Structure 1
């Protein structure tokens, strides 16, 4: 019995231990396993960091994605739904139905087909692959062909007047499977066949872009434990609503991989330039115009990528569809290369429009695809170093007949491939836009008022950041439901630079003291006025409809039309040309709203004039019995071709040119 007692005691302890293990095994919080983010497969060391906070599901941002029927009506008579609902800003959900366009959407025209493929063999060498079956389609009568490659080079006068003046290296022969050393970023491949007279003819002509790695000395830069990279991908004229409906695969990828999505990212001015400059300089348009007009090269100190370059980062900037023209053109054109890698020479070389400008090609590939491929290569090449890259895409979304839905798979593939480079471990990815659709048939709808003002913003916070900077990541998640502006993105970039340089940056400021890094919790009481959003652009209010026959609405429209004609009379035009007076054709819509104190009454009117069928939208403040136009008068119809006779390009939107009869260009 004495020997049995210890044995019984041991068995009792073991039984209790097994019971406890089985109990907790049956009650494990399995949802945490399901909530774990999908980590990038890296080419170096695998790093697994559990996120300190639960992800805010994108289906809360995109309620519309749950609705499989054609109705986009999310607001009923008994309940008001808001994008954000804070004491400082309430933005109602008003959605244009882009799904109707998907039913009649056509596929992008083919730029190719591509017969010669260039792939990286390693960091320094390129391997050639020739698709023989495809190449035969290019052959004329001959069955033999030869191919060669050459580099696209530029000389010192390349940027003069914004025109291309490229020159090339000697063309060196290549064959399937051959390799060559990468010496420049941009490559041109040509293939020839020969006729019966042994005269060569170019049958294939294509262009390719790779980031040739450059060396930057880091001996003078302060080293931190972690330096975060920045990759910014911009897409023109894409509202949060538009990307949510037309790019479902990309949005789903973000949702599944725990990206942050911002419900109230708000534009601060009309078009691309001021909204993008606010992101990369923190300055408003008046400051940029004063300091940078016709002297953009002297403004480099304002650009955030130069601040990163000072800390040893490699920089890149690229933009496609330069015929628009691009962002940095005319009075804001660079005469010198602004970043270490610059894609303007590439797209100025062989970029063409197809299918009534719905498709833009650079060589045998879509321009947007070329830009994304380069961005991916840039991030992959410098993932072990430090980089800042900004790549802006116009070709998939800018025009009235652009079809971003056809680029959905391209973007999904880009972000998916990016996740397998290993760069996401310490790289912030900022996917954003400048504004929604500003002109076209959708602008006749009331919902377009909000759509224009609400671009999209998605941010991937790197894995190392979410694990080390828990409170900053917490603020980032909370700020998904706050009013955010481009000035805040600039402050956030400054914050990333500060964290990466182990210092508090104090010499880089935006124009607005109320702007904040989104790594700090944004005030719940934030208003448009506090953050520099003009009353013209602010959407923190509901719009209430009025009949188009409403007397006050018609008086308001008449006041705006009289103002336009007054402006027209003062426009200076080229000799023998003038601007026609405009008359009201029809009123598209009339809405009103009150300001916060319920005293000031604002009208938002849209109408079409003749001749020309040009449509305008403007905001008008009613004071007693008088009207005051708030901000600029916006053109909301397609304005291509307007005002070609004006001296000042900024006045062209209000001028329908008319040739003056019996006028001679010859001065006696």
Structure 2
């Protein structure tokens, strides 16, 4: 490769000399040469940046097994974080309002597209040209032949769910000398016949409503109306101990949609396997389709697609209704990043999030049993504060679902793939923890709740134990009576399956290792011994001793002064150091960790100590909080116990 690199460089220098002879190309030449050299260095070294799937998978399994052996039976204590803490609210900003201008001339409902009635009231000689956006694979699509439709005539979606449409017309009150034009992209649902399946009459629908980069606490802060409605009106169960199992969106969606992590799939990364594609048959869409379901997978922002940014994507679309080709074509016309809020977040006259929610709601008006996964990134990925724009729209969708009685027979999962990964809040202790605790709220079908009350009871029990994205796959299969497809893999040394249905009680003694969570992603707190050389060792013990002695201050004439005789031990509660120091600069770090940064210090530190005091060699244990900012300890009588007579 190095020899070839030099030969290319020689050719490049010849080319650059030719460019240099033209003064107007001087700057272009410099940029071109610099870019080539940077790319060249990257080509030579890039193999070091990427993990070997087979070797990495072996290392991951070994580390998980070691974690199981070290921690088996200890369980998991989830950090209790205040969503509205000072650290969190420092980064809560009022977002820019998304306002989309103009009026859409054409709307599509199900398989029919036609000009809006209000447009026909103000325009005449309206003529629209439709071109189907036809999917081939995740990297290629094409536009169908142009079809002209006039006035109130409709266009039928047959070859595709999506169209590129442009219209012309003149003002109905004008002289007809000046015409108006409009163009955009529209989506509906072409007719796909389903097999007659009487046995599915009592089966349940499934709806995932997912947001990119939204943590459990972030949703509470930024979507207060929706959160309150989910809790109070829909009795949604929010999983307080739900953990990610890896870095980024693929590490969330692979387990949820296939029951396996990405290392357990064939290597289809663009950098190392250009002709390998993801097998759509391994995804849950295909499993439920084979059982007679209608399926949909809606995801926006195609340039960072979950299965296309690092991977080659699918050769065959994974679901009946799929937006990959639509958004890839639509992205060509949008100025996005340099066009301001409207260009970046609008699709025609509606916000992108509204388009996604509307299409999802429309999907559930189709016939047959339905399975949908809607993943919204546009309003969350780059600025976690922007999701507040969608609060009212999301609330309306939930209310509409109640009116349409969809909750009677639909499993609804409202989720995030992970918390914020790149914003400044992640540099704080709370941000580190929140990244690893994504939003996960589950609403069981009302009919299932009546038929299986023990399932709802188990789900509510599990809200405060360690759960992961691996558990969502078997939970969905459980609801659909398809448990035979569950992945029964156990981490070596574990007595528990890595993935467990949430409709059965998960043991509280479950550890990160047993659940398939590596140490640098594990949020479970543990008590660590404080070294005798650590200044806090004596300081914590003395604080407890002074407090105990101070309790009897008012009765000093009757009570002897207590003094510290010895310190038995001092413990500090903290997540593992690998989590606090974790920083990923290479792909392999997202699997194996890279503890190179200084630990992020929590605003409040928890300590326990056991001391012996005179008179009487009284033995006390106490727990206290040390506030880093104020440099003060906080303790109450309820935090102290005497453990001898």
> Is the TM-score greater than 0.5?
yes
Change (3 A) 1:240 1:168: farther
1:481-496 mapped onto 2 (5 Å cutoff):
481-496=464-479
Task: Give the CA deviation at 1:105.
Answer: 2.2
| 2:380 alignment partner in structure 1 | 397
In the alignment, does 2:458 pair up with 1:475? yes
8 A Cα contact 2:473 2:486, kept in partner: no
Partner of 1:90: 77
Q: Would you say the 8 A contact 1:115–1:131 is kept in 2?
A: no
| Residue in structure 1 matched with residue 239 of structure 2 by the alignment | 262
Is 2:513 the counterpart of 1:529?
yes
Q: Pick from 503, 523, 547 the counterpart of residue 519 of structure 1.
A: 503
> How far 1:630 sits from its partner (Å)?
6.2
Alpha carbons of 1:212 and 1:510: their partners in 2 closer, same or farther (altered >3 Å)?
farther
Q: Tell me the CA shift for residue 494 of structure 1.
A: 1.9
Indicate yes or no: 2:351 matched with 1:366: yes
Distance 1:333 1:630 in 2: 24
Q: In structure 2, the residue corresponding to 1:91 is in which secondary structure? A: coil
Q: 5 Å matches for 1:190-589?
A: 190-193=166-169, 203-218=181-196, 223=199, 226-255=202-231, 256-290=233-267, 297=277, 299-351=279-331, 352=334, 353-354=336-337, 359-382=344-367, 385-400=368-383, 403-498=386-481, 505=484, 508-509=487-488, 513-541=497-525
Deviation by residue 1:493-518 (Cα, 9 ceiling, x = unmatched): 2212326xxxx515754576232100
1:29-178 alignment runs, 5 A limit:
88-94=75-81, 95=83, 99=89, 103-108=93-98, 110-116=99-105, 118=107, 120=109, 125=112, 128-132=115-119, 146-154=126-134, 158-159=136-137, 162-175=139-152
Q: d(CA) in 2 for partners of 1:635 and 1:402?
A: 26
| Cα distance, 1:324–1:635 mapped onto 2, change above 3 Å | farther
2:240 is paired with a residue whose SS is: coil
SS across alignment from 2:182? strand
Contact 1:235/1:392 (8 A) holds in 2: yes
Task: Map Cα deviations across residues 187-237 of structure 1 (whole Å, 9 max, x no partner).
Answer: 344222579999997621122222233112236xx8256211111121110
Structure whose residues are more often helix by fraction: 2
Would the alpha carbon gap of residues 409 and 144 (structure 1) be closer, same or farther in structure 2, given more than 3 Å must change? Answer: same
1:593–1:603 CA contact under 8 A, matched in 2: no
CA contact (8 A) 2:296 2:319 kept: yes
Change (3 A) 1:212 1:200: farther
Matches of 1:435 and 1:368, distance apart in 2: 19
What secondary structure is seen at the aligned counterpart in 2 of 1:215?
coil
Equivalent residue number for residue 631 of structure 1: 593
CA distance in 2, matches of 1:170, 1:375: 27
Are residues 240 and 100 of structure 1, via their aligned partners in 2, closer, same or farther at CA, if it must alter by over 3 Å? same
Residues 426 and 465, structure 1, Cα contact 8 Å, conserved in 2: yes
How far does residue 296 in structure 1 lie from its aligned partner after superposition? 6.2
SS of match in other structure, 1:526: coil
Q: Distance in 1 between matches of 2:113 and 2:185?
A: 14
1:139-191 per-residue CA deviation (whole Å, 9 max, x = no partner) reads xxxx8662425242316xx437x25532344021134xx55545342234422
Q: Compared with structure 1, are the counterparts of its residues 216 and 484 closer, same or farther at alpha carbon in structure 2 (3 Å cutoff)?
A: same
Q: Which residue of 1 aligns with 2:625?
A: none
Separation in structure 1 between the aligned mates of residue 211 and residue 322 of structure 2, nearest angstrom: 18
Distance 2:345 2:102 in 1: 14
Distance in structure 1 (CA, Å) of the matches to 2:310 and 2:92: 36
Following TM superposition, by how much is the alpha carbon of 1:286 offset from its aligned partner in structure 2, in angstroms? 1.5
Residue ranges of structure 2 left out of the alignment (5+ in a row)? 1-72, 492-496, 536-570, 599-645
1:473 Cα deviation (Å)? Answer: 1.8
Cα distance, 1:357 vs structure 2: 7.3
Q: Deviations over 1:507-541 (max 9, x none)?
A: 75457623210011111111111101000100101
Length-normalised TM-score, structure 2: 0.64
What's the CA shift for 1:447?
A: 1.0
CA contact (8 A) 1:102 1:405 kept: no
Contact conserved, 2:162 with 2:186, CA < 8 A, in 1?
Answer: yes
1:314 Cα offset (Å): 1.3
Closer, same or farther: CA 106–336 of 1 in aligned 2, 3 Å: same
Q: Cα distance, 1:367 vs. partner?
A: 2.3
Query: Are the structure 2 counterparts of residues 131 and 468 from structure 1 closer, same or farther at C-alpha, using a change threshold of 3 Å?
Result: same
* Structure possessing the higher relative contact order (Cα contacts under 8 Å, 6 or more residues apart): 2
State how far apart, in whole Å, the 1-side matches of 2:203 and 2:596 are: 43
Q: Contact 2:170–2:180 at 8 Å: present in 1 too?
A: no
Aligned to 1:186: 162
Cα gap change, 1:249 to 1:634, in 2 (>3 Å): farther
Change (3 A) 1:523 1:360: same
Separation of aligned partners in 2, 1:338 and 1:295: 18
Q: Any conservation in 1 of the 2:489–2:498 contact (CA below 8 Å)?
A: no
- Which moved further from structure 2: 279-288 or 93-102? 93-102
Relative to structure 2, which stretch is displaced further, 394-403 or 144-153?
A: 144-153
Change (3 A) 1:231 1:168: farther
Give the Å deviation of 1:423. 2.6
Question: Is 2:194–2:294's contact at 8 Å kept on the other side of the alignment?
Answer: yes
Say whether the 8 Å CA contact 2:520–2:582 is kept in structure 1.
Answer: no
Change (3 A) 1:115 1:603: closer
Give the drift of 1:282: 1.2
The answer to whether the Cα contact below 8 Å between 1:279 and 1:486 also exists between their aligned partners in 2 is yes
Structure 1: which 4+ aligned runs deviate by more than 6 Å?
Answer: 194-202, 592-596, 615-618
Describe the shift of the 1:376–1:225 C-alpha distance in structure 2 as closer, same or farther (beyond 3 A).
closer
Structure 1: how far apart are the matches of 2:246 and 2:150? 51
